[in-house]
Amino acid sequence: MSITQQPRTGETLDVDRSDAAYRDWLKDAVRKVQADANRSADTHLLRFPLPEHWGIDLYLKDESTHPTGSLKHRLARSLFLYGLCNGWIRPDRPVIEASSGSTAVSEAYFAKLIGVPFVAVMPRTTSAEKIRLIEFHGGRCHFVDDPRGMYAESARLAAETGGHYMDQFTYAERATDWRGNNNIAESIFRQLELERYPEPAWIVATAGTGGTSATIARYVHYMQHDTRICVADPENSCFFEGWTTGDADVTCDCGSRIEGIGRPRMEPSFVPGAIDRMMKVPDAASVAAVRALEQAIGRKAGGSTGTGLWSALKIVAEMVAEGRQGSVVTLLCDPGDRYLDKYYSDAWLAQQGLDIAPYSAAIETLLATGVWPED
Ligand SMILES: Cc1ncc(COP(=O)(O)O)c(C=O)c1O
């Protein structure tokens, strides 16, 4: 295509789209998002009790205490700031997101904060509590039967309404400031400063967009820490296979049972080269681990916390076997009260054909003896 608009000699073409009312709105919207962060406290780094003589400390970064109850609060804040500062989010235009739930809860909160409509495009299987929370924050839920159709449906709705498709799966890794700015990794390292092993041997994350693991891994490399990064992947997800085979086009047909993590494709925000290790965790093991967490620290959490905790416990067992001391960090991603009808329901387990008993026994044996019986 040739350029049709060319200046004549002596002429400068000049188009000024600046809009004072929009800029006032933008300033106020950015201020509101920043002020929300300014009013918020940091999330806790909890200890998971292990026998003292092992010389190993296991921590959970408790992301359930954000105002919207999950690690997605950080991501939603970053995505709103990115979308606002790029001029993508505009007054009165809807923000649309493809989400398995938690991101949508947090984004509905920020949309309400700056006064724009919000539509969540999500799988019909999303838990009732998450739907309630999105609607509580003023969002609208739009369901798809096939989780793989979420992306196209979100883009279609955005085009139809003149809104902005936030697209967390593409932008999570770049919207978050991975060099610091109190991101999740910087916060973990600061909170470990007075511990006996301030530089963790391993940090274990799980992947939905892949953004959290990318942020942690990049920060660790940037700060020249020796910490290794492990990503725990549930059943019915592509990240493990994509990472092990190097095939970025791998897909799978069935949606993940562990809400918030496990994707039918390798999401663009997942940064495989930054990750040291991956584990494929059986869903029954994720549930066993999250129930063991309640026994250990008296707190219920979502299934993805169990996926990460299972991998972290496996790493702890390795360290015990090798006589190695140090610390391991994993994430408490969101609270368990969102999933009482799933991971805390024996009827749901039976309906899914999940038997958690052998995995619960493995954790009990590890905590009692230091030996991981599975291997
Ligand atoms: C409950 C929960 N845990 C973990 C994750 C993984 O986070 P990320 O999207 O940064 O990979 C998500 C993401 O949706 C989530 O909802």
Percent of the chain with pLDDT over 90: 91
- Find the 71 Cα to ligand 1 centroid distance in Å: 7
What is the whole-number distance in angstroms between the Cα of residue 246 and the centre of ligand 1?
Answer: 22
- Give, for ligand 1, the residue of 97, 102, 167, 204 to mutate: max count of ligand atoms closer than 8 Å to Cβ: 102
Mean pLDDT within 24-47: 97
Q: Check if 206 has its Cβ closer than 6 Å to any atom of ligand 1.
A: yes
Share the mean pLDDT of the chain.
96
- Domain range 72-172, CATH architecture: 3-Layer(aba) Sandwich (3.40)
Mean pLDDT of 309-317: 98
**What pLDDT digit, counting tens, does each position of 187-237 carry?**
999 999 999 999 999 999 999 999 999 999 999 999 999 999 999 999 999
- Our answer on whether the CB atom of 72 is closer than 6 Å to any ligand 1 atom is yes
| Closest to 259 (Cα-Cα) out of 123, 140, 166 | 123
CA of 68 to the centre of ligand 1 (A): 14
Residue with the nearest Cα to atom 12 of ligand 1? Answer: 260
From CA 216, how far away is CA 221, in angstroms rounded? 9
Structure confidence at residue 130 as a pLDDT band (50, 70, 90) = confident
Q: For ligand 1, is residue 261 a contact (CB within 6 Å)?
A: yes
pLDDT for res 101: 80
Residue-level pLDDT at 199: 98
So what's the pLDDT on residue 374? 65
Q: What is the pLDDT of residue 171?
A: 97
Show me where the domains of the chain are located.
41-69+181-359, 72-172
Single-letter code of the amino acid located at 272:
P
Percentage of residues in the chain with pLDDT exceeding 70? 99
Secondary-structure class of domain 41-69+181-359 per CATH: alpha beta
Ligand 1 mean position to 213 CA, how many Å? 9
* 249, 231 contact by CB (below 8 A): no
Say yes or no: CB of residue 256 within 6 Å of ligand 1: no
Find out whether 113 and 103 touch, Cβ atoms under 8 Å: no
pLDDT at 269: 97
For residues 83-90, average pLDDT: 98
Chain segment 54-64, per-residue pLDDT in tens: 999 999 999 99
Going by pLDDT thresholds of 50, 70 and 90, the confidence category of residue 350 is very high
Instruction: Quick: pLDDT tens for 246-268.
Output: 999 999 988 899 999 999 999 99
Domains 41-69+181-359 and 72-172 share a fold: yes
337-348 mean pLDDT: 94
pTM of the predicted structure, to 2 decimals:
0.95
Please give the average per-residue pLDDT across 130-151, as a whole number.
93
- Cα(243)–Cα(221) distance, integer angstroms: 19
> Are 227 and 199 contacting, i.e. CB atoms less than 8 angstroms apart?
yes
pLDDT at 255: 85
Q: Which atom of ligand 1 is nearest to the CA of 304?
A: 3
The pLDDT value given to residue 128: 87
Residue 333's pLDDT is 97
Determine whether the shortest distance from the Cβ of 212 to ligand 1 is under 6 A. Answer: yes
- DSSP secondary structure letters along 108-160: HHHHHHHT--EEEEEETTS-HHHHHHHHHTT-EEEEESSGGGHHHHHHHHHHH
Query: Does residue 304 line the site of ligand 1, with CB under 6 A?
Result: yes
What is the Å distance from ligand 1's center to 17 Cα?
38
Q: How far, in Å, from the CA of 210 to the mean position of ligand 1?
A: 8
- What confidence tier does 335 reach under pLDDT thresholds 50, 70, 90? very high
* Residue with more model confidence, 149 or 284: 284
Spacing, Cα 358 to ligand 1 middle (Å)? 26
98 lines ligand 1 (CB under 6 A): no
